[in-house]
Structure 1
Amino acid sequence: MNQKYLMGMAAEGGQTVVFEAKASNVAAFICRNRMAPELLVCTLDYKMFLTARTGMVDVCPERKFLVQELLPALVLMQTGQVQDMPLAIVLRESVQDEECPQPDWNYLRWDGYDNEKFEKIMDGSVLLNYEFLSETIPMELRIGQYEDGSGLALELVSWEEKEPEDWDTITVNLSVPCEKDHAFVDINNSGGQEICQWIEENGLGKATGRQQRSGFCIYPEYHFDARRLKELDREGYEKYVAGLQQRGRSAKSNSRLCPSRFRGQ
């Protein structure tokens, strides 16, 4: 815990309050709002710290603070061993100029970033430099899957402002079957032909020579490096592979149900 103050907000019209970042204050805030279906505690600049439901901690990535400080204080209050401690509220106006250091916990846990990905984002090891209008922007490569056809989808997320911001999708779904780890690159929107050079310079993949026309544009197909993709977004890549496997099992199951004389029609 590297914050001086925290801010608590409860559902059901509860007021937003500011208090010193102490376990006793967090526990008191949770107990005071024990009937709230959901509450959250965050930094003064709205970076998430904790969520709770009906008096029970739901998510708190700061494990050391949770286990060693917060839970012991909370248990004492909830079991009646001590009376509910008063919540020492600080006037919000008095801390409006307070600078908030970068949290030393995974405050993006609620946005789907596991601890491994968060740590790599913070140390820059999975960020790729992207040149745009003479500026160098650190980019996260996020791996997904198109609903139509289950093809590989690659998205760039900017970290220029130290927060994730959707930038562009560098692949395009043309509803044309592609092999595993293959996708058509969107040269119509995401940086034009230069995106192909960027893909190759960062060791992401190589052109297969296959092309597909859609409208007035001809899109090149790329074979992406599975090892490199997994290195940059392990969880996203594993979900993509699992989706392909599930689609394969479903197709195989359907083929068993379909009489052979109707297959291929």
Structure 2
Amino acid sequence: MKEQPILGYDWEMGHEEIKLEIGTYYTGKGLYIGMLAKEDGVWESFSDLTVNLPFERSDVHEAFIQDFGSKEKLKFIQKHKLGKILPERGHSGFCTYAKVAFDLKRLEELDPEGMKRFYKDHPELEEQSQVPKKKKRNQMER
């Protein structure tokens, strides 16, 4: 099995080497993205990149960004071409959350096993990815 890529993450406390962990939130089936950092030689949870807002409208490839360190997290998303920051915002209590349309193909490169599990929770994505074959010029539909 190929080693997961490591991404650089810069924040107020310095620089971290990060791996992404992709999953699905239980409530709402939204896209979960966790950040792992190496601590004493073991990859452990560093932070959540996303937050679960199941009552906010979003497409299956969209997620809201955790508010703690959100400016750094949005820069991280842009730097590593993980997705596009959208103008919409999510709300919960007194907090407002940025919304991102993630590039699922890019996430597959960063955590293939996690994305397999994500696709299993979202069979409709497999249906969308199946592109109909082009008919040959001389073929007629019957």
Distance 2:109 2:84 in 1: 17
Partner of 1:172: 51
1:161/1:168 CA distance change after superposition, 3 Å: same
**Partner Cα distance (1:135, 1:212) in 2:** 28
Call closer, same or farther: CA 1:169–1:134 in 2, change over 3 Å.
closer
Q: Which residue is 2:31 aligned to?
A: 152
TM-score, normalization by structure 1? 0.44
The question of 1:230 aligning with 2:98 is answered no
* In structure 1, distance between residues paired with 2:121 and 2:46: 24
What does residue 22 of structure 2 align with?
A: 143
Higher helix fraction (1 or 2): 1
Q: Secondary structure at the match of 1:193?
A: helix
CA RMSD, 1 decimal: 1.7
Q: Secondary structure at the match of 1:199?
A: helix
Give the structure with the higher percent strand: 2
Residues 91-240 of structure 1 mapped to structure 2, 5 A cutoff: 116=1, 119-121=2-4, 126-175=5-54, 176-186=56-66, 188-189=67-68, 191-240=69-118
In structure 1, the gaps of 5 or more residues are 1-115, 247-265
Q: Which has the larger radius of gyration?
A: 1
- The answer on whether the counterparts of 1:149 and 1:177 sit within 8 Å (CA) in structure 2 is no
Maintained 8 Å contact 2:10/2:72: no
> Does the CA-based 8 Å contact 1:142-1:157 persist in structure 2?
yes
Which of 1 and 2 has higher RCO (CA within 8 Å, sep 6+)? 2
1:12-68 deviation digits (Å, cap 9, x = unpaired): xxxxxxxxxxxxxxxxxxxxxxxxxxxxxxxxxxxxxxxxxxxxxxxxxxxxxxxxx
| Cα distance in structure 1, aligned partners of 2:64 and 2:13 | 27
The answer for unaligned runs of 5 or more in structure 2 is 125-142
How many residue pairs get aligned? The number is: 123
- TM-score, with length taken from structure 2: 0.79
